[in-house]
Amino acid sequence: MLIKFTSIADFTILATVMKINKYSISYSQTGYFKGLATCYNDGNEKLKPFYKYTPDIDSFKDVMEDKSKEFINRELLVRVISDQYLSSGLLDQENYSQITKVKIDSLASENTFTVTTGHQLCLFTGPLYFLYKIVSTINLSKKLKDKYPHRDFVPVFWMASEDHDFAEVNHVNLFGKKIAWESESEGPVGRMHTSTFIKLLEELEQIIGDHPNALRLMELFKTAYLNRENLSQSTRCLVHTLFSEYGLVIVDADDKRLKNEFVSLMSDDIFKGENELIVNNTISNLIEFKLVARNKIQVHPRKINCYYLLDGLRERIEKLDHADLYQVKNTNITFSTLELKQHLLDYPERFSPNVVMRPLYQEKILPNLAYIGGPGELSYWFELRDFFELNKINFPVLISRNSLLWIDSSNFSKLNKLNLEFLDLFLPLGQLERKYTRQFSEIAFEKEKELINEAFDSLLTKAISIDNTLKTSVEGERIKQLKSIEMIENKILKAEKAKLEVSINQINKLKQRLFPNSGLQERHDNFIEFYLKYGDGFINTLIQNLDPFDNSFNIIAEQ
């Protein structure tokens, strides 16, 4: 049956039934995390010049003081967000709209701040970490309220509605199958109409069946995608329904009124050209400090970091050489300097910040204290501190989103039967098979290898006492002998593996299930599979078990 919680007590009952346990390992132990975000989580001293506040709860006292010095048009912000919810038909639903309305209205107070995460408008929320980012943001707002009870904190989900990479958002992986939304529309994905979703939902319905939780999901998806104008409204409806009881507020920055607040900074970017220089300077420092390789830089600034935006169109603006003329790429649209300045004032909604300018836009219009992001996102935020200072906007606290592996009771049972530890799961498959096979092999070659090394050490000493040039020859023979031992060892292990074929196949299946395509579960799987089994208990379990200040990789196991 579908489980819908009305209180924490309800969840506690389910948690007891589910017997959820949480385990933690370091990010380095997973083998999947490296780069600037890992340096940040490890507190690398070299990285400190590239962010402003340490990622701990005590830092927020200073952040609130600094952010309070900036002007935020709170009245406009409340009006725009309220209008967006009303146009999506959400604030008139009494069963779950009241908490959201209270949170939106609270933004009018100088005593209220936001903590924010953002993501593309992925089909059915896309990979699991979409949800983990939001859960981290909700939990951070709760932690801040506990620490600073006289302030209010609103968790915000920033929809990347102006992105135009449709191929990144149009599909979902479900039960080993890729389900894709086909559309010929172009331009910003948030403005794409969802009228063609009927066929896609019919396909999904056939896959997930008629279990009560499946019926609930189909009702939710039909309401979100068939009863809304575009992908922005659909995504807002879907995310709102999943998270409204936790006070999440969803913002679509593709709005003329909000962009009007950002006009002066877009104008500076287009006509002054300072942003490219200062971000490139920071990138050079990151490379010089050996924090990142040149080919691993996440984001490269441009001379102009704004797109030109129309329905069906999102293209870069470029200044033509040797002419007072700006052109929208791949179009016949051109402007003189004076024309472009006036056009920006008259139609700010036609200008869209790129990945460099978007964080600045976010911090300009929100009373924001922190951004919660994944490793790739945080890596490009480290390029932006001096850029923020140049534009006189406070740089927020950066918080790494929670990462986790969810192991259901069936796979947990298999793990135990195979006598595997959690850390074993993170080994490459070949190493895992080898380790597993070794525990059943009575034949060990360590002693033989040790004897060979001792013999060659003695030979080496005698050889170089006669002729030092013999060293290379002796070492070469040592390597050959050790490789011969390894070849024999591998043949024996292969024979052992053949005897353990059933168990090895089980390991392969377990590894593929928990690490699809040899990658992390959170980067591949969609929440639908988990919702079908746990209903709303899945999100409640995440809320209850994750901590935004927990600097480790989590394993949640249903036992």
Q: Per residue in 118-138, pLDDT tens?
A: 999 999 999 999 999 999 999
Tell me the three state secondary structure of residue 303. Answer: coil
Q: Which residue has the higher pLDDT, 475 or 401?
A: 401
CA distance 505 to 543: 35
What pLDDT score does 8 carry?
34
Instruction: Give residue 94's pLDDT band: very low, low, confident or very high (50, 70, 90).
Output: low
What pLDDT score does 443 carry?
57
Instruction: Give residue 10's pLDDT band: very low, low, confident or very high (50, 70, 90).
Output: very low
Residue owning tokens 């709303």: 536
What pLDDT score does 95 carry?
44
Residue owning tokens 């008629």: 210
What pLDDT score does 445 carry?
73
Beta carbons of 179 and 200 less than 8 angstroms apart: yes
Q: Is the pLDDT of residue 186 over 70?
A: yes
Nearest CA to 298 among 222, 221, 377? 377
Instruction: Give residue 183's pLDDT band: very low, low, confident or very high (50, 70, 90).
Output: confident
Nearest CA to 367 among 67, 132, 56? 67
Instruction: Give residue 408's pLDDT band: very low, low, confident or very high (50, 70, 90).
Output: very high
Beta carbons of 266 and 368 less than 8 angstroms apart: no
CA distance 403 to 426: 14
Is the whole model's pTM more than 0.75, yes or no? Answer: yes
* Residues near 509 by beta carbon (within 8 Å), at least 6 away in sequence: none
Instruction: Give residue 9's pLDDT band: very low, low, confident or very high (50, 70, 90).
Output: very low
* Residues near 142 by beta carbon (within 8 Å), at least 6 away in sequence: none
Residue owning tokens 């609930």: 216
Give the CA-trace dihedral at 252, 256, 261, 263, to 10 degrees: 120
Long-range residue pairs from 16-20, CB within 8 A, at least 24 positions apart, any chain: 18/534, 18/537, 18/541, 18/558, 19/409, 19/558, 19/559, 20/541, 20/545, 20/556, 20/557, 20/558, 20/559
Cβ atoms < 10 Å from Cβ of 213: 22
Instruction: Give residue 195's pLDDT band: very low, low, confident or very high (50, 70, 90).
Output: confident
Nearest CA to 312 among 189, 180, 182? 189
State the average pLDDT over residues 235-258.
96
Mean pLDDT of the chain: 91
Q: What is the DSSP letter of 394?
A: P
Beta carbons of 384 and 412 less than 8 angstroms apart: no
State the average pLDDT over residues 443-449.
73
Q: Is the pLDDT of residue 352 over 70?
A: yes
Beta carbons of 23 and 555 less than 8 angstroms apart: yes
What pLDDT score does 441 carry?
63
**Span between the terminal Cα atoms of the chain, in Å:** 20
Tell me the three state secondary structure of residue 157. Answer: strand
State the average pLDDT over residues 527-548.
95
Angstrom distances, CA of residue 316 to CA of 192, 323, 327, 353, 524: 19, 18, 8, 10, 31
Instruction: Give residue 13's pLDDT band: very low, low, confident or very high (50, 70, 90).
Output: very low
Q: How many residues does the chain have?
A: 559
Question: In the structure encoding, which two tokens stand for residue 258, read together?
Answer: 């909000």
What pLDDT score does 93 carry?
55
**Which of 2-16, 258-272, 316-330 shows the highest mean pLDDT?**
258-272
CA distance 413 to 366: 47
Instruction: Give residue 91's pLDDT band: very low, low, confident or very high (50, 70, 90).
Output: confident
CA distance 11 to 543: 10
Strand 249-252 to 368-373 pairing:
unpaired
Percent of the chain residues past pLDDT 70, beyond the cut: 95
In tens, the pLDDT along 19-66 reads 889 999 999 999 999 899 999 999 999 999 999 999 999 999 999 999
Instruction: Give residue 14's pLDDT band: very low, low, confident or very high (50, 70, 90).
Output: very low
The strand order across the sheet containing 20-25 reads 20-25, 553-558, 404-407
* Residues near 27 by beta carbon (within 8 Å), at least 6 away in sequence: 33, 38, 41, 403, 551, 552, 553
